[in-house]
Structure 1
Amino acid sequence: MKMTAIAIDDEPVALSVIQAHAEKVPFMELKGVYTNAFDAVDVLRREKIDLLFLDIKMPDISGLEFLASLQEPPMTIFTTAYSEHAVQSFELDAIDYLLKPFSLARFLKSCNKAHNLLLLRQERPQPDYIFIKSGYDQCKVALADVLYLESAGNYVNFVLTDRKVISRLSMQEAMDLMPAQQFTRVHRSYIVNNLRVDRIDRNNVYLGKSVVPIGAAYGEAVARISGEEK
């Protein structure tokens, strides 16, 4: 099973080292490298990224600040030339801390740790329902009954086969509630249940009688629903 990863470091040379090491790790796919943390935000929102290699000292925002800003961060390995941030990095639940310059052997040890953790998480049985806060109530919703989620200002509509449940959430918070392997964000305002998709064309996703538009930035995510991703 492949583990997807990205790397953020303001030093191109450091990114080159990570790329060279990553090419030698058979179970990992490095999907992108970024010298600016903000350039990686859209990728983290659109795609399922399992692991983040993150430098700590960067000019606009530190790696520690960037990780703390993510509502549902991937597993993170900090990469830095400074050792004084080690304790703080583990307080943010980083799974490892690579001190530059690090060897391929040390890099591989971190990757193995992340991969083993990922396998353990996937072996746990996933519940077939979630609870959604709607007003003062907690509504139990079967995942199989969800057609799609629709943004409505500061709220999200959970459109089910027999009713709607509205909750005060952002789209990112709603996405974090749903199992990533079953639900896909296809537009900045829509998330669909992959198992409920009947048809996909260039512009829309069809779920029974419902039609959901495809956003221009979400083509790769939509392709994964039908297995057409290259």
Structure 2
Amino acid sequence: MSQLTCIAVDDEPLALGLVASFIDKTPFLKLVGRFSSAVEALEVVHQQEIDVIFLDIQMPDLTGIELARVIEASGTRGPRIIFTTAFNQYALDGFRVDALDYLLKPFNYEEFLRAASKAKAYVELVQKAAAGAVAEVKDEYLFLKVEYQLVRIAYEDILYMEGLKDYVKVHLKSDSKPILSLTSLKALEEKLPPSRFMRIHRSFIVNLDKIAAVTRNSIQIGATTIPVSDQYKEIFNQFLSKWM
């Protein structure tokens, strides 16, 4: 693949210079801009295609978290973000804006390269899927953000998904320990094929192929009974009519 286009954003000149030098010495990265202001960086993001932003969090006018939220709210596939900060209390916020990684200052080149390699792997995966080179994977797998990794999960392996406050717990056939991802059931519902998955409760999406038994008010998957809420009764009854 060609180089990833990158910008570095930090209001501290020394920190900005260090990140820029790390980008310059990494063969698969191309530095196309360095900014001391998130507002200036946002203008560039709107004007040209950027693959990765190395982004400080605590900055005047617009913080790194706020910039990430603006990019996320645009509704298009924006640049991936790697946060660079001296404060570890922002890690959860980093998860919530779907950051690829979180580098805690001071970090060395080895740590930087590890984060940059994650970005490279992510962009390559997205490009292949967009080009149809892995159409069979796109049709049979879900790509889920787990911690700071993009994990491929086969539809066939999913039993059901359980929504928690800030997370979704994905229960698998192959592993008794569920996968935890900082996302929402609504976001997953939009990605999953409706012919294979159905939301039957505000807190549950089920794999239709894994249903072992049904009643008017619940379904059974393995040893787990999952209720059907009133909100989803109509669509569930349409499915249930095929069983009767």
Q: TM tier, shorter chain?
A: 0.5 to 0.7
SS of equivalent to 2:88:
coil
Aligned to 1:22: 23
Show structure 1 runs of 5+ residues with no match.
Answer: 128-230
Q: Cα distance, 1:125 vs. partner?
A: 4.0
- 1:43 aligned to 2:44? yes
Of 84, 93, 96, which residue of structure 2 is paired with 1:91?
96
Partner Cα separation in structure 1 for residue 41 and residue 79 of structure 2: 12
Q: Cα distance, 1:42 vs. partner?
A: 2.2
CA displacement 1:7-45 (0-9 Å, x = unmatched): 111111111000111111001001110001111222111
Aligned to 2:5: 4
What is the root-mean-square deviation of aligned Cα atoms in Å? Answer: 1.2
Q: Which of 1 and 2 has higher RCO (CA within 8 Å, sep 6+)?
A: 1
Residues 37-186 of structure 1 aligned to structure 2 (within 5 Å): 37-70=38-71, 71=74, 72=76, 73-126=78-131
CA displacement 1:51-95 (0-9 Å, x = unmatched): 011111112121111110121431000000000000111111000
Query: 2:100 is aligned with what amino acid?
Result: I
CA displacement 1:166-210 (0-9 Å, x = unmatched): xxxxxxxxxxxxxxxxxxxxxxxxxxxxxxxxxxxxxxxxxxxxx
Query: 1:40 is aligned with what amino acid?
Result: A
Identity of aligned residues (%): 40
Partner Cα separation in structure 2 for residue 79 and residue 120 of structure 1: 24
Moved runs in structure 1, 4+ residues, more than 3 A? Answer: none
Write 1 or 2 for the structure with the bigger share of helix. Answer: 2
Partner Cα separation in structure 2 for residue 105 and residue 60 of structure 1: 31
Distance 1:121 1:84, change over 3 A: same
Show structure 2 runs of 5+ residues with no match.
Answer: 133-244
Q: Cα distance, 1:126 vs. partner?
A: 4.3
